Amino acid sequence: MPRYFPPTRAHARQLRHDARLVNRLESLPILVDVQPAELLVHDATEACPYLEGRTARMPLRLPVRALTRSELDDRLARGDRRHGALFYRPTCPECQACQAIRLPADFPLSKSQRRVFNRGERELRVEIGSPTVSDERVALYDAHRFGRGLARPEATPMDPLSYQRFLVDRQCDAFELRYFDRDDRLVAVAVTDRGERAMSAVYCYYDPSLPKLSLGTYSILKQLELCQRWDLDWLYLGLYIEGCDAMSYKARFQPHERLVDGTWTRFE
């Protein structure tokens, strides 16, 4: 189990985080079994966002400084995911359905994946830049989550500040892939973290009215291409969750590895 220590004032002064989320930093426990140390800003059980009727526990941790690329690799290898400046790893009391999943950089494309990639190369223009917030991105994000049925029933439209906290704020090296159609219209964005030996697909959203382009699949294949170009080893795809359509599709990419009971296991 991680060891908890009261944070020092020096640690607290290093933090740059939303005051409404982190009040009274001096009272938050620090996890010191990882470098850099992290503040535990939230740890409670709640209704699972992926599987109905399940109880989830996803402690949110804030590094006391920005991570190096190798430090990000270490967190990815142990199954961490990122939400804005915070990192988390499911530690649910009665369920192990969430499994981190990764693809080897030399992933062999199937015939159908090759067709998707070639079609995207013909139809789309791709830019790489720093994650940023704009009205265009917020509108596309909402079109994606409402158009694909990913929003909870009580969900309201995203606002720029919430988008900033989710996809722009960060404590590691990150970039976004921007996909434009032939009319130079932004049709997809993929926020991606960059480690020393790996990349992590944080979140991809796209225009749901363009199913023929298979934008989600094309984005993964484009990220794999970047892994190969930059001589990296892995592309992390987040969590595989059997029984959750929004997460289980990742298992179609084979071969892949999943973190099962603390061990990376190959599936083919």
pLDDT of residue 30: 86
Residue 30 backbone phi and psi in degrees, to 5? -110, 135
Does residue 37 contact residue 65 with C-beta atoms inside 8 Å? no
| CB burial string 181-205: b at 16+ within 10 A, e below | beeeebbbbbbbbbbebbbbbbbbb
pLDDT of residue 33: 82
pTM of the model: 0.88
pLDDT of residue 210: 98
Q: Which domains does the chain have, with CATH numbers?
A: 4-98 (no CATH), 102-240 (3.40.630.30)
Nearest Cα neighbor of 157 from 136, 139, 135 is 139
What is the Cα–Cα distance from 194 to 69, expressed in whole angstroms? 7
Residue linked to tokens 């596309």: 140
pLDDT of residue 244: 86
- Tally of CB atoms within 10 A around 36: 15
Does residue 143 contact residue 150 with C-beta atoms inside 8 Å? no
What is the Cα–Cα distance from 170 to 186, expressed in whole angstroms? 23
pLDDT of residue 189: 98
pLDDT of residue 130: 98
29's CB contacts (< 8 A; 6+ apart) are 4, 5, 6, 7, 39, 40
pLDDT of residue 8: 43
pLDDT of residue 148: 92
List of the chain residues with pLDDT < 70: 1-27
